[in-house]
Amino acid sequence: MRILLTGGAGCLGSNVVERLLPVCERVVVLDNFATGKMASLPISPRLEVVEGSVADGPLVEAVFDGLRPDVVIHAAAAYKDPNDWRVDTVTNVLGSIEIARACERWDVSRLVNLQTALCYGTPKALPIPADHPTAPITSYGITKTAGEAFVLSCGVSTASLRISNVVAPRLAIGPIPAFYKRLKAGDPCTVTESVRDFLDVRDFLRCLETVIDRHDVTGVFNVSSGVGHSIAEIFGLVARHLGMEGRQPDATVAPAADDIPIVVLYPSHTTEVFGWSADVGFDDTVAGMLGWYDIHGVTDVYSHLQERR
């Protein structure tokens, strides 16, 4: 099997590479390294890394021509600057169009798109079912949702995975790395009154492998534990891990205007179609992530949200 993975140097993409590389004839990663890192990728004669944008049509064409992929996993996403709508649009919308059209031209057998749970916006039902209307409110969510629509419209077998917060080695977004880094540095910590669902990367990778193999199944699927946890709960787990049990956040605030108070996905349709459900418990997932940070540390921490002023 030959796989093209866009955004493969990011947290989720690099874990996908590590999982699939041993069973693939060849893997090509296309990444512009805006948030991904070359050091995250393994060294292998079966892995080729191409630096560039998914919105660069001639480059995408050359990559497809050289690899002739059986499977394309589209994980590339721009979210580094919530105010830069143009960059988000170029990568998340125009880039998705280039990938979708190239998949059509090269007769790709399977296209798997990785989508954010923020596509739903402020939910009208909780947990959020996969057939819930999309109504994103952030640049990241809006552009990823537009890109998803183009990908789903292409003429190849396509599944779009709407993913909760995947906890994986090299995680650089969200409350777990933020609290770990700030508590270690002695910096103040603010907790929002938000609830999110979290998914262990091992559960995500099991799902991805199943989805890749099921060429007969198309559409959108929630990939989630289906269980919500408060940001305050995460703060407590991180503080306890660092020997600061009883440490309280410096402030607790309501979610900002661009932050959804509760995002918990309902994965029942995914379970029904693919026979998949999350197995790894939340405490084990967070403990594993914190143990990884103990060894490797936290570097950059990104957010798709506006900075509070």
What is the secondary structure of the chain as a DSSP string? -EEEEETTTSHHHHHHHHHHGGG-SEEEEEE--SS--GGGSPP-TTEEEEES-TT-HHHHHHHHHHH--SEEEE-----S-TT-HHHHHIIIIIHHHHHHHHHHHTT-SEEEEEEEGGGG-S-SSSSBPTTSPP---SHHHHHHHHHHHHHHTSSS-EEEEEE-EEE-TT--BSHHHHHHHHHHHT---EEES-EEEEEEHHHHHHHHHHHHH-TT--EEEEES---EEEHHHHHHHHHHHTT-TTPPPSEEEPPPTTS-SEE-B--HHHHHHH-----S-HHHHHHHHHHHHHHH-----B-SSPPP-
Residue 237, pLDDT score: 98
pLDDT of residue 301: 55
At 309 the pLDDT is 43
Which class does domain 175-197+226-266+280-296 fall in?
alpha beta
What residue ranges of the chain have pLDDT lower than 70? 300-309
Tens-place pLDDT, residues 103-125: 999 999 999 999 999 999 999 99
Predicted confidence at residue 146, as pLDDT, reads 98
Structurally, what CATH architecture does the domain formed by 2-167+200-223 represent? Answer: 3-Layer(aba) Sandwich (3.40)
pLDDT of residue 258: 86
The pTM of the full predicted model, rounded to 2 decimals, is 0.94
Domain ranges of the chain: 2-167+200-223, 175-197+226-266+280-296
